[in-house]
Amino acid sequence: MERYYQPEIETASREQIKAWQDERLVKQVRHVWDNVPYYRRKMEAKGVAPEDIKSTEDLHKLPFVTKADLREAYPYGLLAKPLKDCVRIQSTSGTTGKRVVAFYTQHDIDLWEDCCARAIVAAGGTNEDVCQVSYGYGLFTGGPGLNGGSHKVGCLTIPTSSGNTERQIMFIMDLSATILCCTPSYAAYIGETMREMGLTPDQIPLKAGIFGAEAWSEEMRQDIQRTLGIKAYDIYGLTELSGPGVSFECSAQTGMHINEDHFIAEIIDPDTGEVLPEGSEGELVFTSITKEAFPLLRYRTRDICVLSHAPCPCGRTHVKMSKPRGRTDDMLIIRGVNVFPSQIETVLLNHGYPANYQIIVDRVKSTDTLDVQVEMTPEMFTDNLGEVERRQQELVDGLRSMLGLAAKVTLVAPKSIVRSEGKAVRVIDRRKI
């Protein structure tokens, strides 16, 4: 039977959810207008006043907020509460430029941890479980978020943080951890290491994993599920909005329920900014309607996905978002073609290679080159050069049909691609543009 952390919210009627959103949106717009001069200027520039926003139908009238705004307003420009009311900051990894700092009141932290608790319960977690949090702790939201959620559920929480893989495995085995929370690439590495130690899935006590903070493919999910003998659940979030738990997967594993009592989601055309009808693929935009310290209105995530209100067998009524095809930040434009690392990962896993790969983009004589480096495995190796080259060619063909452009495949020695304990470095772009 499906269990919920907050059943009255997670299975509320659509009318109820809409009513919460209308009321909270109006209040939030007034809150930022009154307290954040930066927002007020942006709204005035667009000719919108708080009175114009009466319900979610008016959301499109508000200006967008982008990462550039966050950087411009750094550090206090978007703060909507006096510092004396704030109790915490978290910060983005800064992989795409200057770090962004987000502020939390105790109320904000409570709501964020509730969202993470919903994700843990959706993954089957109860107060009988032992939950190992192998996301980094610190400025990164992964560790603190899941740690707080795990406490709320009442799991015995093992705050290992990331790194020291042997110690991770020791705790999983010695304390019979049943739930693992980390990035999917780190889960794959832990699984690979356990397999090399001779541990079979039935010897591993884990039953579920909650993996997020980076794009990963369905094939990688299958791979992790097989190696660890678990069910692997996706979780999504952004530091700018709170952290992990903005949306999470249920037992159906067909998309992530967005916590709509806290966040309003829209899909827009990334080029025109126009709101697209349900079912369209486009850029995900969020409005946080319950946050006090660092509320964002119409924040452009640069994640490309699809929303669906189709009824979910789990009983949750909140809208589902598809696994993002990749952040527009992660998207590579190679010879004019859009390429997401997750597409390359799909091809590799479909051909029996592990998700240990690196994508090297360069520009030679004004032409972009794409080199996919893949680690050779015992299963893929044979003494027959022609056979190895044939398998290499199969990958080249697979990539060509997936991406629509020619890529080079380089087979490299095992373990030569550096393993990640946090977000994996998949792309090295050497183009000097």
Partner 1 sequence: MSLKQISVFLENKPGTLLTMTGVLAQNHIDMRALSIAETKDFGIVRMIVDDVYATATVLKDAGFIHSLTPVLGVVIPDEPGGLDQVLRVLAGAQVNVEYMYAFLGGKNVDHAYMIFRVQNEAAAVAALAAKGIRVVDQDEISQL
Residues engaged in binding partner 1 (CB under 8 A)? 376-378, 381-385, 388-389, 410-416
Sign of the Cα pseudo-torsion (316, 318, 319, 322, in order): negative
Token duo for residue 152 = 């709320």
Cβ nearer to partner 1, comparing 48 with 412: 412
Q: For the CB of residue 392, give the shortest distance to partner 1 in the complex, in Å.
A: 9
Cβ nearer to partner 1, comparing 308 with 373: 373
Q: Give the separation between CA 309 and CA 321, rounded to whole angstroms.
A: 9
Residue 101's alpha-carbon distances to 74, 83, 240, 293, in angstroms, are 7, 13, 8, 12
**Is the separation of the CB atoms in 23 and 261 below 8 Å?**
no
**Is the separation of the CB atoms in 129 and 167 below 8 Å?**
no
Q: For the CB of residue 204, give the shortest distance to partner 1 in the complex, in Å.
A: 23
**Is the separation of the CB atoms in 108 and 242 below 8 Å?**
yes
Burial 228-258 (b: 16+ CB within 10 A, else e): bbbbbbbbbbbbbbbbbbbbbbbbebebbbb
Neighbours of 337 (CB within 10 A): 12
Cβ nearer to partner 1, comparing 141 with 392: 392
Q: For the CB of residue 376, give the shortest distance to partner 1 in the complex, in Å.
A: 5
Cβ nearer to partner 1, comparing 165 with 301: 165
**DSSP label at residue 155:** P
Cβ nearer to partner 1, comparing 95 with 377: 377
Q: For the CB of residue 390, give the shortest distance to partner 1 in the complex, in Å.
A: 12
Cβ nearer to partner 1, comparing 196 with 202: 196
Q: For the CB of residue 389, give the shortest distance to partner 1 in the complex, in Å.
A: 7
Q: For the CB of residue 132, give the shortest distance to partner 1 in the complex, in Å.
A: 27
Q: For the CB of residue 416, give the shortest distance to partner 1 in the complex, in Å.
A: 7
Q: For the CB of residue 157, give the shortest distance to partner 1 in the complex, in Å.
A: 35
**Is the separation of the CB atoms in 344 and 334 below 8 Å?**
no
Cβ nearer to partner 1, comparing 295 with 354: 354
- Burial (Cβ within 10 Å: 0-12, 13-18, ≥19) of residue 45: exposed
Cβ nearer to partner 1, comparing 2 with 397: 397
Q: Give the separation between CA 20 and CA 27, rounded to whole angstroms.
A: 11
